Amino acid sequence: MRFRFENNVLDADLRELTCGGAAVPLQPQVFDLLLYLVAQRARVVSKDDLISHIWSDRIVSDSALNSRINAARKALGDDGATQRLIKTIPRKGFRFVGEVREDVAATLAPAEPGPAPVRAGADRPAVAVLAFENMSGDPAQEYFGDGISEDILTALSKQRWFMVIARNSSFTYKGRAVHIRRIAEELGVRYIVEGSVRKADNRVRITAQLNDAVTGGHLWAERYDRELVDVFAVQDEITNAIAAAIEPQIHAAENFRADRKPPASLDAWDLLMRALSHYWRVTRQDHEAAQALLERAIGIDPHYGQALSVLAVNHMFGVHLGWADLAVVAPAAEAAALTAVRCDHEDAWAHAALGCVCFSTRRLSDALSEFEQALALNPNFSLAQGYYALALSYAGRSKDSFDAAQKAIRLSPRDPSLAIYHGIAGYARFTERQYDEAIALAREAIRHRGDLTGAYRVLAVSAGMTGDGALAEVALGELRRTQPGISLHWIATQLPWVNGADREHYLEGFRRAGLR
């Protein structure tokens, strides 16, 4: 069926709106809303009617509904002031008031097969969220745009029906002029989300668009001008709109509204985003900076689950890299992780944080359970996947550990933490006595990051077991540079093996490498 009004044609069969013969891009959900209003033009359509028909009776905010109405008006050259075609009936709903002619669309001949599109790396639809560009003119505001895009990425990652590339891979393109097709090929995705943030005083303007990297077309774009206190509602709107544009049928069947509880104060969120920007850099100085910022955020909002989770993970990461003493930080980390789980038991970060604490305090069964819970809540969470691989290795499940580490690498193929995942895979191979492969994986980790202790540990013990004294000497020298306090005693007391034989195997590798 075609509906003609003014210079427009709305084709229900082709799901297309044209104006003067030119296609007008429409988000699928906005198309559905417009089609419903036109088809029901003989009556006033209430908000409840729209929510039932377009959103399948899911909870929808007034701002989300109004944004779709505004988008439909904009596509028709209408607006809320003139209401030439879509009229708001106060306290009643909406009605399409344009003069409409109907005709039956002609049947299209089968199209000639065209060239096959580039396939994404996964069977599921795959999307990458790039770091939103800072348009504020103030470099100190970079973290704010990163935070907005990271929150969108996190919300999208909760949906199991498509794969989301991890933040640390998609953010590597920040500040670089790279064509989206190349980004898509490197990350193995079809869809790219990009945007910008302009923050001034207490207002923020966020623009976002969804691109099909294969065709080069823009599937959806929107701009949001909001008071800064409304930033969480804006994130919900953007996330829902992106999900709807990618796959409207699934969006109609599932609830894509983020479940995250916002902090009591935006200042706490601001501090968390600053802390995360340090945490992901994986250096001792940034570890300490993140710790201070997280403690300030929790001081403002003691029940801010996300900040508590990152605080616990940061503590335990410092322990594993030799930057912090387990006995000193474990009680505070565990208290933070438990509080985070109580705040939101469906938050993947909270369970990953508790898993990290259980891992470092030698409760490997509990750690594996928590990491599995985190991955059940967010299958695209590469940090949880990497820690899960590490816990599996110390639990004596070397083959499972190697497979899990490979999955972490696939989830985030351009991640600054990639060195860690390669190092974990290398340690898994070491425990299986596959020393040459362990050395190759350790070298690959060092190629990505030359300042992390884990890769040099694997390289040293593997070289020690193969009798390569020269390589062992070099590896130990670099290890002492990155972890000056390394010793056999530290290894035996700080790392959480389940099996004494695995611990002795690791210590023997270090003895043969020359560590005393």
The highest-confidence range among 79-88, 227-236, 466-475, by mean pLDDT, is 466-475
Q: Which residue ranges form the domains of the chain, and what is each CATH number?
A: 2-103 (1.10.10.10), 126-253 (3.40.50.10610), 260-379 (1.25.40.10), 394-516 (1.25.40.10)
Q: pLDDT tier at 105 (50, 70, 90 boundaries)?
A: very low
SS3 content of the chain, % helix, strand, coil (to 5): 55, 15, 30
Predicted local distance difference test score (pLDDT) of residue 47: 86
Answer yes or no: are the C-beta atoms of 482 and 445 closer than 8 Å: no
C-alpha to C-alpha distance for 63 and 51, rounded to whole angstroms = 13
Token pair recorded at residue 4:
């003609």
C-alpha to C-alpha distance for 128 and 256, rounded to whole angstroms = 17
Answer yes or no: is pLDDT of 62 > 50: yes
* DSSP for 257-310, written as a single string: ---PPPPS-HHHHHHHHHHHHHHTT--HHHHHHHHHHHHHHHHH-TT-HHHHHH
276-317 pLDDT tens trace:
878 877 888 999 999 999 999 999 999 999 899 999 999 998
Token pair recorded at residue 120:
């994404």
Amino acid present at 337: A
Query: What mean pLDDT, rounded, does the chain reach?
Result: 82
396-448 pLDDT tens trace:
999 999 999 998 887 777 666 788 899 999 999 999 999 999 999 999 999 88
Question: What is the Cα gyration radius of the chain?
Answer: 26
Q: What are phi and psi of 141, to 5 degrees?
A: -95, 5
Residue with tokens 């002492």: 480
CA distances in angstroms from 127 to 187, 247, 260, 424, listed in the order given: 9, 12, 21, 26
Predicted local distance difference test score (pLDDT) of residue 110: 39
What average pLDDT does range 132-149 have in this prediction?
A: 81
Answer yes or no: is pLDDT of 120 > 70: no
How many residues does the structure list for the chain?
516
Q: CB count, 10 Å around CB of 117?
A: 10
Answer yes or no: are the C-beta atoms of 254 and 155 closer than 8 Å: no
Amino acid present at 44: V
Strands 8-11 and 2-5: antiparallel
Answer yes or no: are the C-beta atoms of 463 and 471 closer than 8 Å: yes
Amino acid present at 409: I
Asked which of 64-68, 196-200, 238-242 is least confident by mean pLDDT, the reply is 238-242
216-234 pLDDT tens trace:
777 777 787 877 676 666 6
156-190 pLDDT tens trace:
776 655 678 888 788 888 888 888 888 988 888 88
What average pLDDT does range 54-69 have in this prediction?
A: 73
Beta bridge partners of 199: 204
